[in-house]
Every structure is written in C-alpha cells, then in structure tokens.
Structure 1
Amino acid sequence: MGTTETSEVGVPWRSPALVAILAATLMTPMDVPLISPALTEVQSVFGVSASRAGLFVTAYALPGILLAPVIGALADRLGRRYVLAGCLTVFGLAGTAIGLTTAFRTALALRVVQGFAAGSILSALAMTVVGDRYAGRQHDAVMGVTSAMLSLGTAAYPVVGGYLAEHAWNAPFLLYASTLPVAGLVLVAFDDGDTAREGRGGGYVREALRAVPTRRALALYGVMFLSFALLFGGIYTALPFYLAGAFGFAPTTVGLVTSAVLLVTALVSTQNGRLAARYATSTLLVVGFALYAVGFLGAALAGEPPLLIGALLVFGAGSGLVTPTLFAGISSLAPDHVRAGVMSLQTTTIGASQAAGPVVFTLLGAAVGYRTTILVASGGATVCMAALAVVAPDA
C-alpha cells in the first residue's frame, strides 16, 4: 500500500509530504467551526430565520453522508494526491464564492458543493496517507501530530471566524481561499506511491459489514450519532443564537467560548490512552454523557457568563471522553483489510448527525426558545447516559 517513507522513530519535520499532510489536516475544521460564530450575521444579512441559517451546517453535511465511501474508493483507484487536491480546490472555490454572493439560495447551493467536495473526508484522506507512508513507532508519532493539528484548527477557527464575522459577514468565507495553495502543495509533495492497492469500490463497505460484530457496531455507531448530534446541534448551531440572545455576546465572544470548550475537549482527549487502559468503554461513555447532561443543564440555568462558561467546559470534558473512545472502538471493530470500509461508515454516521442535529435544535429553538432547547438537550443526554449504563458494550 503505497511507499513507506521511513521506519525511523520520531517526526520527520522536514518532509514535504508531512508538511502537506499537516496543511491539509488544518483545512478540515474550516467546515463548521469557522462559520458557526457567523451564523447570526448570516441570518441578519440574508434576512432569514435561525433555522434557515442553520442550514449552512446541515447542507454541508448531507453530501458527505453518501459520498464518503465513494471518494475513499476513488482515492484508492486514482491516488491520494489527485483526489485530495481536487477536493481541496473545489472546497476552497465554493467557500470563497459564498462570500461573494448576495442570494441566500445561491450561498446555500455553494455550501452543498462544498459538502460534495469535502464532507468529512479531508482529514480521513490525510490520515490515510500517514498510514501509507510511515511505519512502526514513527507512524504513531506522525499520527499524533496530525491529530494535534486537527484539534488545533478545531479550537482556533471559532475565534478566527467570530473575529472576522464582526468586521464583515463574508470574511470567514473568504478565508476558504487559503485551501487553494494547500491543494497545490499536495500535488507537489505527494507522489504516485501515495496510492493503495487496486480499489474495490463498494466492496469496502460490503466486506466491512460482514466482518464487524453487528450488535457492537450498531451500538457504537448509534452512540456516535447521538454524540455528534449534540455537538453540531447544541454547541455549533444553537449555542451561538443562545449566547447572542440571552447574554448579548458578539461573534468574537461566541467564538472564544466555543474555542474554550474545544480546547478542553482536546486536553481530555490526550489522556484517552491512560483512561482506556483503566476503564471499560461503557464506563467512559456513561461518564462522558453524564458530563454532557451536566454541561447543558448548567448552561441553561446559568445567570452569569462565568457560570455559563464553566458549564460549557464541563460539556467539553465530556466530549473529550466520548469522542476518542468511540473512534478507538470503531477502529478496532474490523481487521486491517476492511478498516477503510469501517471508517467510511463512521464518516457517514458523523455526516448524518451533522445534518440532523442543527435542524432539530434550530426548529426546537424557534418553537420553545434556546434556553428551553438546551434544557431538553440536557434531558436527552441524561436518557442516553442511563441507556448506556444498561446496554453499552464493554471494552
């Protein structure tokens, strides 16, 4: 599968391929975190409801639900560099064009094009190249810095997006143009060795479905859907409207709060290896959803910003327990030769939750208000916690 660059220990910081991998990974969190703090500005500029503004999250997610396995197969047939560079190019052009339009329908259509180009697969392709090029302990070291780059972007973009949106509603979208030079870097730095075995198309998914333990897979994928629905619907979509309406937070402040939550998530995630060695998967998931429930409850009841932020940091800690636990559990479901199929189903699951969460949260917010919506989310997380305590699979 491709060419292994080296089996030495350590991170080859001077490698052009590694620079390209990290640059492509850094572009991935531009999907939602960058524009989440700008949703209130989008609503105001286009004169639409909060639920319609929330479609900027949903419309992006929908194409990735179906296309992740297809693009994964194309990457095997055509080579990583061509598919990844092509995705980055269309992703950047469509995102930049959103900032230049004055029609909401056009902007939404371009957001769909972005979803077709990228969905949730940019980081997956970049990390696939890590597996192609590196081996042994160096593979683990490079995967670590790649994951850290993803976390860094996820935490930083809400601040960047909020700051830019305060100055001009379309400024966050113009930042998508930065993906174009990264696409060029991928074409130059990768080579024809960055191609896996002859692709088996849909066989990835079919064989994966036969290989995985069905009940455990359904449980883990179901928990993943609920977890990311709470994240994308509650934190990325409902929270900006709640913070603006109840506390008068500007987009920059919204971005700072969101980034603080994600930084806590990243910090807790770094301890996943130690925690997984001591506790069962079910235990980590139950505790994580308990923190979700406490975080949402505290955010809904908080009367002062410090209490609100403290409650949201509790949610971030819960996400730091749940997310890496789910990724590790799903990655271990199948043998190596069908792991790509398993991971493509993971991408589809995350895309489905990314599409459904914002719709549910904004419609509920329009009907009962965002404070009540966040209280409902707390109750939903509590129900999930109780169900997990009974039926979640042990590690």
Structure 2
Amino acid sequence: MLGFFALGVNVYIVSPILPQMSRELQRTVAEVGLLVSAYSLPYALLGPFFGPMSDRLGRKLVFVGGLALFTLANLACAAAPSFEWLAIGRGMAGIGAAIFTPAVYAYVGDRFAYAERARAMSVILAAVPAATILGLPLGGLAADWFGWRGAFAFIGVVALVALLALYFIPRDTPQAGQAGSYLASLRTLLANPVLLSALAVTFTWFMASSGIFTFLGEFFAQSFGMSTKQIALVLGAYGLMGVVGTRLGGRFSDSLGKKRSVMLGITAFGLAALSLQAVGQSMPLALVVLSVWAIGIWFGLPSQQAILSELMPSARGTVMGVNNSMLYLGSAVGPAVAGQVYIGGSFGALSLYTGAVAAIALGLAALVLRDESHEVVPIS
C-alpha cells in the first residue's frame, strides 16, 4: 500500500504546486500542467509491453523493479537543473509506475475470487486518495519550505521506504499457462471485443477526471486567493473523501453489482464537475462539490478494476497493464486538452467540457460493461 501511496502523491503533486512552479520556472500554467502528461504518457504507451512481464517472470520481481525505477526518477526530479530535465524525470517515473502497478493488480487478482476482488482492490486503491490526505499536504509543506524540489524529494523518500518494505514479501512464481509470448498475450487481448470496449470506459473516465483535477489548484488560487499550503490542505480533504469512496465502493460492489457501481461513480463525478462552475465565492459549497467528485471517482474504480481483471484471467498481468495504459493515456490526454479549453475559455468552460466527457464514459459503461468473464482462447 505504501508504494501506491507514493504513486498517488506523484500523480497529484503538480496540482497544488502548479502556481509556484509556474512562477519559479517562468513557464505558463498550461506548460507546467504538461508535467502531468510527461508522467502519464510513458505509462500509457509502454504499459502494454510491461504488463506481460509479470505473467512471465512473477509478480514480485516486476513490481520491485518498477518501484526502484520510480524512486530514482523522483529523486532525479528533485535535482533537475531545468524544466526539460524535470520533464524527463517525470517520464522515467511514469515508466517505473507502468512496470509496478499492473503487477500489483495482477497479484491481487491471482489471490482473491471474483466475488471478493472489488473489496480487495479497494484496500490497495485506498492508498492513492489517502496520499492526498497526508501526502499532498506534506508535499505542499515541503514545497513551501524548500521550493517545488522539496515535493519531489518527499515522494522519492516515501517510495524508498515502500521499496525496502516490499523486499520482505515472499517471491512468487509464474502460474502455469502464463508464460506465453508477449505478442501472443496482446493478440489474445485484441481478440476480445468486450475487453477492448471496457478499456474505452477507463480512457474516457480518466481523461475527464485528470484534466480538470490538474487545474483545481489554479481554480482555488484564483477563486479564493489560496496559498500553495492552503490548496494542498483542500486537496487533502479531497483525498479523505476518496478513501471513503473507495471503501464504500468495495463494500457495496456485491450488493449493487460491479457495473452499477461503476456507473454510479461516473455519474456522481460528472454532476460534481458540472456543478463546480456554479459555486461562486462559496467555499463551503466548493468543498461539498469536491467531496461528491472524490467519492464518485473512487467509489467506481475498485469495481472497474475487478471487472477487467476477470475478463481474461489467463493473461491477467497483460490485461491490467493495458488497462492502466488506458487510464494513464486518459490522464496524459486529459490535462493537455483541458489546458487548451482553460486557455481558450474559463474554468466554467472546462467544467462543461469535463461533464460532456464524463457523459461519454457513462454511456460506454452502460453499453459494454459486464460482471461476468469473457475469456477468449489464447492464440498460439
């Protein structure tokens, strides 16, 4: 869980320190926002190639190696001499995350029956919004005290502690039937239309959520005159509601059904994103809307991960790698597109755009998600 905590801080850290980085690096807000894409894009492009590694080599070897690269990359970001080197460091961190994350999801999928899997996924996923409760406030404080470099150094130290803890987990071995070729695993995935459609839900959902989240720090700075420290504390409240949403989603996925849980989560997020433009100068109302947003996103995610982990059990690492690629491809495209919407219009325009993309994700979920397995016989 501590590894996911570090990844969670890394995903969200640009938002609270974005105004400070823009000033100190002498770059526009939109340019600094692209650092989110610099982290997400390598993950999106390389995830399909790293996912099969844990099917072939075993889960522990792969997720330890991925977290080691992630740790070194964040320490390099803290020492980056320029914006360009910082972007390269963010890209290397994305590669480490692309190796680490699907191996962990596959590890959980191997050890929990489908009926219990959403609850198990929720325990791990809760570490990501939990990162915004402690990680973002502490990262924001580090940025206040030491500049933006302190925030990345903080992530590197947390990841190093997680890496040392993972060393003591017993090494697993690949299961029978998992050691096929990389290309065979990917061909099998491409032969499963239900799986491909479910991946489109992940992409659009996180294109919407990551795009607008990147500019939340700017929204609170402009609307309420908040400092970096205050923004980090507000986003910490977002994380608390995310933990609540994750645990509720895991708990109620069996009674509601995993598909309904995903649809309910997307709906809550979309309505909250549309409402954010109307909060005016009311801080309490803004916090309520942000809470609904957080609960919605994290309520549906454990069920989405559980559904996908069962669609092709014989190549679970491959599936989770490609799914996380779609998540991070959405997270890479989202801020880039949202930045253009924000520059060309206002936060109100960004809110409307986000609601529209969330509606597309909801429609796809209604049409294509299933709770049962759709295994395709592997292509030899």
Tell me the TM-score range normalised by the shorter chain.
0.7 to 0.9
* 1:345 to partner: Cα distance: 1.7
* 1:28 to partner: Cα distance: 2.5
For structure 1, the 5+ residue unaligned runs are: 1-21
Q: Give the 5 Å matches for 1:256-267.
A: 256-267=233-244
Structure 2 partner of 1:293: 270
Q: Measure, in 2, the Cα distance between the counterparts of 1:74 and 1:288.
A: 31
| 2:136 pairs with one of 140, 145, 158 | 158
Structure 2 partner of 1:208: 189
- 1:156 maps to a residue whose letter is L
| 1:116 pairs with one of 81, 92, 95 | 95
Is 2:289 the counterpart of 1:308?
no
* 1:319 to partner: Cα distance: 1.2
Q: Measure, in 1, the Cα distance between the counterparts of 2:113 and 2:267.
A: 37
Q: Is the 8 A contact 1:284 1:321 kept in 2?
A: yes
Question: Cα deviation per residue 1:322-368 (whole Å; 9 max; x = unaligned)?
Answer: 3223222222323x212222212211111210110110111211111
Q: Measure, in 1, the Cα distance between the counterparts of 2:55 and 2:263.
A: 37
Q: Measure, in 2, the Cα distance between the counterparts of 1:276 and 1:84.
A: 27
Structure 2 partner of 1:12: none
Query: What is the TM-score with the length of structure 1 in the denominator?
Result: 0.81
Q: Measure, in 2, the Cα distance between the counterparts of 1:145 and 1:308.
A: 28
Q: Measure, in 1, the Cα distance between the counterparts of 2:37 and 2:248.
A: 31
Structure 2 partner of 1:42: 21
**Number of residue-to-residue matches in the alignment:** 364
- 1:261 maps to a residue whose letter is Y
Q: Measure, in 2, the Cα distance between the counterparts of 1:104 and 1:332.
A: 41
Structure 2 partner of 1:199: 179
Q: Measure, in 2, the Cα distance between the counterparts of 1:320 and 1:183.
A: 25
| 1:231 pairs with one of 198, 201, 209 | 209
- 1:342 maps to a residue whose letter is V
* 1:92 to partner: Cα distance: 1.7
Q: Measure, in 2, the Cα distance between the counterparts of 1:380 and 1:25.
A: 27
Q: Measure, in 2, the Cα distance between the counterparts of 1:228 and 1:123.
A: 16
Q: Give the 5 Å matches for 1:1-395.
A: 22-119=1-98, 121-130=99-108, 145-167=123-145, 168-178=147-157, 179-187=159-167, 189-196=168-175, 199-202=179-182, 203-210=184-191, 212=192, 214=193, 216-235=194-213, 237-273=214-250, 275-279=252-256, 283-303=260-280, 304-334=282-312, 336-382=313-359, 384-385=361-362, 387=363, 391-393=367-369, 395=371
* 1:380 to partner: Cα distance: 3.7
- SS of the aligned residue for 1:233 comes to helix
* 1:136 to partner: Cα distance: 7.6
Q: Measure, in 2, the Cα distance between the counterparts of 1:390 and 1:84.
A: 33
Give identity over the alignment, percent: 24
The RMSD of aligned alpha carbons is: 3.0
- 2:65 maps to a residue whose letter is G
Segment of structure 1 superposing worse, 295-304 or 121-130: 121-130
Segment of structure 1 superposing worse, 226-235 or 315-324: 315-324
- 2:72 maps to a residue whose letter is L
Q: Measure, in 1, the Cα distance between the counterparts of 2:108 and 2:303.
A: 21
* 1:204 to partner: Cα distance: 2.3
